[in-house]
Amino acid sequence: MANLSIRNLDDETVATLRRRARRHGVSMEEEVRRILKREAAAPERLGDLAVRLFAPAYGEPALELPEREIHEPMGFEG
């Protein structure tokens, strides 16, 4: 396992992390680990985020999109 040191955190950030950790019943170090793990695993595309957030409410399987027609690009000739 790797170690990470973060310097120059402002007092308000540290206090917020401490409150969050207390609320979740874990150490501040564990709270930061959880936050970093969750954020590092965040989806790269907005659509992936939407599916992850809303799919459970609408059931499985995931939303299936209909086939789309491919259109020729518009011309701009005078």
Range of the domain at 29: 10-44
- Tally of domains within the chain: 1
The answer to whether position 14 is within a domain reads yes
The answer to whether position 60 is within a domain reads no
pLDDT tens, residue by residue, 23-46: 999 999 999 999 999 888 766 677
Per-residue pLDDT, 17: 95
DSSP the chain: ----------HHHHHHHHHHHHHHTS-HHHHHHHHHHHHHT--SSHHHHHHHHHHHHH-SSPPPPPP----PPPP---
Query: How confident is the model over 7-14, as a mean pLDDT?
Result: 95
The answer to whether position 39 is within a domain reads yes
Per-residue pLDDT, 69: 83
Per-residue pLDDT, 53: 78
Per-residue pLDDT, 66: 78
The answer to whether position 55 is within a domain reads no
Per-residue pLDDT, 22: 96
